Chains A and B, each alone.
Chain A
Amino acid sequence: MIKINNSGPIDRVLFYILVPAFLINLYLIFVWSPVEKVMGDVQKIFYFHVGSAWVAFLAFCVVGFYSVLTLIKPKMERFIYAGISAEIGVLFTTLALLTGMIWGRASWNTWWTWEPRLITTLILWFIYVAYLFVRKMEGSWEKIAKLSSVFGIIGVINVPIVFMATRWWNTKLHPVVFGEGKDQTGGGMEPEMLATMFFSIFTITVLYVFLLRKGAQIEKMREVIKKAKTNIINKIAS
């Protein structure tokens, strides 16, 4: 039987951290942190961009982690967590790609460039979507849990290789144009900007954890209802 803790104390704590953190984060981004000299206000999107990109990769690591656990011992809860993490991962990967594109258009004057980080993120998005397709197969959940975990593990192995290959590809053909860091300042970021960035990453990570827990609860409720439904149908039929 699956346990549902509807309003667990952890969730409540997370929620009470999340709301003020988001307000403070918005204040930090739009009021407190200095405006970038060259790019101006456009640079503000950077704080959301870095946060979502970080969560995109974190969510994928979580998928890999729960996939390994599911293979070791299949449990409904682990299977659900892997799936919800992948769904949130798709969301944040899309956000990272879109904000990156908007920012790239403003600062590099191009929507898209074949740069290692961009290609890796795009391929990450495709692997996430493929993973969700595997989960949409019909069949018993034990079977889908095994197949999707196997694919999740293979996908996690693939991501660092993609990054290495694309990085190698670009540096061999033409020099890296945009400098080492995506922030384009290397190590010379203003301390206020750096603080805002870290706070923004923290807030979005809390949001991810909160969404993960809520999503898993909803999924568990769905399973309970499904079981109750089949029970009732069996009773009526007999």
Chain B
Amino acid sequence: MITILTDALTIAAKDLRNEFKTKQTFSMMAIFAVLVILVFSFAFDPTNNAVKAVIPGLVWVITIFAGILGLNRSFTSELENDCLTGLRSGPIDATSIYLGKVLANFTIVTLVQIISIPVLFILFNYRFTGSYFWFILILFAGTLGFIIVGTFLSALSANAKNSEMLLPVLLLPLLSPLMIAAVQAMRAALENENLENAVSWLQLMSAYDLLFFAACLLLFEFIMEGS
């Protein structure tokens, strides 16, 4: 058990070091997230007061769009020089590869959020009145679920030639229940009213996270065998 975790940390550290050296994926994701905000500001007039209603949804739209860019690279970058074969043949459990990738992707997407969400609030002139605690908790639960399923499917679609196109098609239908819950919870937290509502949505999100985490952990071995 402990070896699985330490191996996972090693793999995550390898990915993150690689990322901090080039900063390519991260900067692309951040720029893309800001560009999405820009496009949305053309679509919905930011000076209009009614736009406040779309802010909770926009937080998740930019997270998913930017996140998919990073997830696409997560396993296809290992295909160069047959690194994935090296990882597989190493004396480590398949689950630690998965855990490591989840950790690395989660860190990168969280860093992108730290940049893009304040930019969203500034560009849409949004005054934050909700509670920070609930906002961060919901953001954490939603992003974690997204990364859990996303990393798993990224490993699956890396086997295809058109993996960049396949990943969103596989990922978005599976994310739909999480996104319904995340947007509703975020709305309740941002408007700072009926927090019970937010709590019950948060319960659904944690149930989704736990269920898919268990399922992905169990099934990941088969993906590694198959590829």
Contact = CB atoms under 8 A, between A and B. Distances in A.
B169 interface: yes
B25 interface: no
Contacts of B200: 168
User: Interface residue tally of chain B, by bracket?
Assistant: 20 to 34
B212 interface: yes
A89 interface: no
Interface in A46-104: 71
A71 B220 CA distance: 12
A22 interface: no
Contact of B204 (A130, A137, A143, A164): A164
Interface stretch (B70-78, B130-138, B154-162): B154-162
A134 interface: yes
Contacts of A162: 176-177
B224 to A, nearest CB: 10
B40 interface: no
Interface residues of A, number: 34
Contacts of B216: 154
A204 interface: no
B159 A139 contact: yes
A158 B177 contact: yes
A143 B170 contact: no
Interface string A143-173: 1111101110111011001101110110010
A150 B204 contact: no
B227 interface: yes
Contacts of B190: none
Given A138-B161, A165-B180, A158 B174 contact: yes
Contacts of B174: 127, 154-155, 158
B156 to A, nearest CB: 6
Contacts of A126: 172-173
Q: Which of B149, B172, B207, B222 has the most CB of A within 10 A?
A: B222
B219 interface: yes
Interface in B172-219: 172-174, 176-177, 180-181, 184, 197, 200, 204, 207-208, 211-212, 215-216, 219
Given A164-B177, A169-B180, A154 B215 contact: yes
A190 interface: no
Given A158-B177, A161-B177, A150 B159 contact: no
Main secondary structure of the interface of A (DSSP, over half): helix
A147 B223 contact: yes
B177 A146 contact: no
Given A155-B174, A161-B177, A164-B177, A130 B169 contact: yes
A129 B169 CA distance: 9
Contacts of A71: 219, 222
A41 interface: no
Contacts of B160: 134, 137-138
Contact of B227 (A143, A151, A153): A143
A184 to B, nearest CB: 25
- In order of increasing CB-CB distance, the 10 nearest A-B pairs are A146-B226, A165-B177, A126-B173, A161-B177, A143-B226, A137-B160, A165-B180, A130-B170, A150-B219, A162-B177
Interface of B: 149, 152-153, 156, 159-161, 166, 169-170, 172-174, 176-177, 180-181, 184, 197, 200, 204, 207-208, 211-212, 215-216, 219, 222-223, 225-227
